[in-house]
């Protein structure tokens, strides 16, 4: 049995066990190149102890600006469960990214500007800055990484959300590149930081 099949088998065995009683998310990311442009699409389903509470679908295009700089224009539809109904938020956004390659780590610094069209609420702007470091070396065919993202709400003039992640990229298989990572989201509510999501994300990049 190949090492990739072993990883997939272990994932299928461990997923039902690990996901019981904790937050978890399943993501599919699609990346394709057409006419020199990098096209992408994504789906994300998130579950907590109450059940499926969040899902989003997005698509976008990324294009190079310079050797270590890129920009992207994307659009996302987000659905969140509230009082038994799915509430829609439409979110066009643009971002710019800088890559810094060192001997041990590949760093990416990304700034995203979002325009949030929210059902039953005023539209709002938000900025997100993410710093991510990924190992340039593999360990047992796995590539570890970590990152932190800062969310700044321009409507409230407040840094009111933070996301920390660390995980592993698995070797590329026939279906794509599997990734498993831990995500910890906290939000500022009534001047206190509260946990919004703390669990495992299972992702496949095609």
33 forms beta bridges with 38
How many Å apart are CA 16 and CA 117, to the nearest integer?
Answer: 35
Q: pTM, whole model, 2 decimals?
A: 0.88
Closest CA to 61 of 32, 89, 99: 32
Q: For 57-113, how does the pLDDT look when each residue is reduced to its tens digit (9 = 90+)?
A: 999 999 999 999 999 999 999 999 999 999 999 999 999 999 999 999 999 999 999
Place of tokens 């990049």: 205
Q: What pLDDT digit, counting tens, does each position of 12-57 carry?
A: 545 554 555 689 999 999 999 988 789 999 999 999 989 999 999 9
Residue among 88, 62, 94 at smallest CA distance from 75:
94
């Amino acid at each position: 049995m190949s090492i990739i099949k072993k990883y997939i088998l272990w994932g299928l065995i461990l997923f039902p066990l690990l996901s019981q009683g904790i937050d978890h998310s399943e993501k599919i990311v699609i990346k394709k190149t057409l006419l020199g442009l990098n096209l992408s699409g994504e789906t994300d389903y998130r579950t907590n102890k109450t059940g499926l509470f969040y899902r989003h679908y997005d698509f976008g295009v990324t294009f190079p600006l310079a050797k270590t700089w890129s920009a992207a224009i994307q659009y996302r539809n987000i659905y969140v469960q509230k009082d038994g109904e799915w509430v829609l938020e439409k979110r066009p956004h643009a971002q710019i990214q800088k890559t810094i390659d060192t001997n041990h780590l590949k760093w990416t610094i990304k700034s995203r500007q979002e325009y949030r069209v929210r059902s039953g609420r005023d539209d709002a702007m938000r900025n997100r800055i993410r710093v991510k470091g990924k190992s340039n070396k593999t360990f047992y065919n796995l590539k570890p990484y970590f990152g932190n993202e800062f969310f700044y709400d321009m409507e409230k003039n407040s840094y009111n959300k933070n996301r920390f992640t660390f995980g592993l990229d698995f070797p590329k298989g026939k279906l794509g590149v599997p990734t498993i990572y831990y995500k910890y989201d906290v939000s500022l509510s009534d001047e206190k930081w509260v946990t919004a999501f703390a669990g495992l994300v299972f992702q496949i990049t095609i």
